[in-house]
Copies of this chain bind each other. A is one copy, B any other.
Amino acid sequence: MEGSRNAPARPGTNLPRIADFNQAVILNAVRHAPEGLSRVELAELTGLSAQSVSNITRRLLDRDLITEAGTLVPAGRGKPRTLLRLHAGGHFAIGVHIDPTVTTVALLDLVGDVVASVRTLPASAASPTRLVGAVTAAAEGLVAATGVDARRVLGLGIAAPGPLDPGAGVVLEPPLLPGWTHVGLRALLHEATGYPVVLHKDAAAAALAELWRGPRGSAFALEDFVFLYLGTGLGAGLVVGGELLSGTTNNAGEIGHLMVAADGPRCNCGQRGCVGAACMPRNLVAEAGDAGLLPRPGTGDREIDDREIDELFTDLCALAADGSAPARRILEASAFRLARGAATVSNLLDVRAVVFGGPIWDRISAVFLPILRDTLLTTTEARQVHPVTALGSSLGADVGAIGAGCLVLEHAFSTRPATLLLGQELEMATLEP
C-alpha cells in the first residue's frame, strides 16, 4: 500500500500507571543510594512533589521494601531528616546459572548481594530433568539454610547459553549444551519450584549484574556498555541508556562468529578467524598441547572433556603467570583478537566501556586487560569524542548467577519508561505476590 506507515500506534498512559511508575522511580532512587536518602532529597532527585514522595514512601515502608535507617542532621538550621534505605532482607531472588562446566544457584537479597550460593553438577552432564531436580533441591536448600521465608522470594531467574526462546521460556539447541533440544526450562522449573521464573541468556544476565552492582574502577555511572562474557564460549550483553538491549527475541549478543583475524582455529561454523573460537579455552588448550606445553586433552565424551579442559586451561594460565613465554604468547594472541572484536562492537554501539567477565576471566585478566585497555583507547572510532574503557568485572565466576537473580529484581524495580504504556504487562508481577 503506497504511502502506508509501518510502525504501529503506541498506546497512551493514564493515572494508575503513573502511580506504579513513580513508585518504581522512588524505589530505584533509594536503591542507588546505599548510604540512604531523606524524603526531601528524594523529592529533589525525582522532581516529584513532597506529598507524592510521602505517600509513596509510606506504601514502600508498609511493604518492607524500604526501611528507615538513621537520621541526617543538616548543617546549619533545618530539621533532622530520616534516611530511607532499601530493606535488603525484606525480599529475595534466586539466580540460576547453567554453564556446561558447572551450574550455580545463588540467593540474592533485595540489593542484589549474594546471601548464599551453591554449585552443583555440570549442565552438560545432566539431562534437563535431572538438572531441574538438582536446581530445585539446591534452591530449596538455600532458602532453608538461610531461614528465609519462601513467601519473600520474588522469583527465580535462569541464565543459560543461547540461542533461547525466552518468550516461550525454551532453551533451543545451544551448541554448548549438546543433547538439549527445545527444552521448556521455564515451565519445568516453575512447576518444580512454584516460583515465577524468568529465562535469559548468560551474557545478558551478566550485563544486568554489572548494571546493578557496577564494576570497580569506573569513575562514571555506567549506563552504556558491552559485557563480554568469557566462559566455555563467548557472548555479549548489551546495555544502552541504562537498559539491557535484548533484541527482537531476546537473542541479541550473539558475537561468536564476528571475524577478527585472517586465520585461527576452525570454528564450529566452518570458518576461521571467529572471535569466539579465538577465546575458547578448548582451542587455547589444544594450541598449548600442540606446542608441547601441556598434555593434549583427551577425546572422550563431552562431559569429561569440559572439566578436563577447564583444568588444563587453569594450568595454561598458571604457566603464563610463572613466566613461560610461549604460554603467555598464546594468551596474548587471544587477547589481541578479543580486543579487535571489542573495538568493533564498541564502534557499532558507541559505548563508553567494555566490561569483561565470566567463568574464565579471573584466570586471564592479568594478561588480557592491558591489551584490551590499550586497543580500546587507541583504535575506537569515537576516541575523538570520548575514550572507551576496558574494565574487568568484579563479580567473579558467579556473575551469571547474580545476573540471573537480577533478572527477577529488575522486574520489581523497573523504571523503564515503557512500563508506563498501557497494555505492556510484565511477565511476572512480582512485588505483590
7 shortest A-B CB distances, which residue pairs?
Answer: A247-B350, A417-B417, A6-B214, A9-B29, A47-B422, A262-B262, A252-B350
Specify the chain B residue showing the minimal Cβ separation from A18.
Answer: B13
Question: How many angstroms from the CA of A172 to the CA of B383 in the assembled complex?
Answer: 11
Specify the chain B residue showing the minimal Cβ separation from A248.
Answer: B224
Report whether B251 and A240 are in contact in the complex, using a CB–CB cutoff of 8 Å: no
Chain B residues whose CB sits within 8 angstroms of the CB of A113 once the complex forms: 3
Residue A7 lies at the interface, judged by CB distance under 8 Å to chain B = yes
Report whether A344 and B46 are in contact in the complex, using a CB–CB cutoff of 8 Å: no
* Cβ contacts A245-257/B at 8 Å (1 or 0 each): 1111111111101
Are A249 and B9 CB-contacts (below 8 A) given A47-B14, A255-B347, A258-B344? no
Most chain B C-beta atoms within 10 Å of own C-beta, residue among A31, A249, A347: A347
Residue A415 lies at the interface, judged by CB distance under 8 Å to chain B = yes
* Cβ contacts A47-82/B at 8 Å (1 or 0 each): 111001000000000000000000000000000000
Specify the chain B residue showing the minimal Cβ separation from A381.
Answer: B254
Report whether B221 and A6 are in contact in the complex, using a CB–CB cutoff of 8 Å: yes
Residue A114 lies at the interface, judged by CB distance under 8 Å to chain B = no
Report whether B7 and A211 are in contact in the complex, using a CB–CB cutoff of 8 Å: yes
Report whether A350 and B12 are in contact in the complex, using a CB–CB cutoff of 8 Å: no
Say which one of A20-28, A119-127, A142-150, A284-292 lies at the interface with B: A20-28
Chain B residues whose CB sits within 8 angstroms of the CB of A9 once the complex forms: 25, 28-29, 32-33, 45-46
Chain A interface size range = 35 or more
Specify the chain B residue showing the minimal Cβ separation from A421.
Answer: B417
* Cβ contacts A204-247/B at 8 Å (1 or 0 each): 00000001111100101111100000000000101011100111
Which residues from chain A sit less than 8 Å from chain B, CB to CB? Answer: 3-14, 18, 21-22, 25-26, 28-29, 31-34, 45-49, 52, 111, 113, 162-163, 165, 172-173, 211-215, 218, 220-224, 236, 238, 240-242, 245-255, 257-263, 269, 272-273, 340, 343-345, 347-352, 379, 381-382, 384-386, 415-418, 420-423
Report whether B223 and A7 are in contact in the complex, using a CB–CB cutoff of 8 Å: yes
Report whether B254 and A340 are in contact in the complex, using a CB–CB cutoff of 8 Å: no
Question: How many angstroms from the CA of A45 to the CA of B21 in the assembled complex?
Answer: 22
Are A249 and B350 CB-contacts (below 8 A) given A47-B14, A385-B165? yes
Most chain B C-beta atoms within 10 Å of own C-beta, residue among A26, A32, A344: A344
Question: How many angstroms from the CA of A401 to the CA of B245 in the assembled complex?
Answer: 29
Chain B residues whose CB sits within 8 angstroms of the CB of A12 once the complex forms: 21-22, 25-26, 46-48, 52
Are A163 and B384 CB-contacts (below 8 A) given A7-B222, A28-B10, A248-B350? yes
Report whether B251 and A381 are in contact in the complex, using a CB–CB cutoff of 8 Å: yes
Report whether B25 and A7 are in contact in the complex, using a CB–CB cutoff of 8 Å: no
Chain B residues whose CB sits within 8 angstroms of the CB of A220 once the complex forms: 6
Specify the chain B residue showing the minimal Cβ separation from A246.
Answer: B350
Report whether B259 and A344 are in contact in the complex, using a CB–CB cutoff of 8 Å: yes
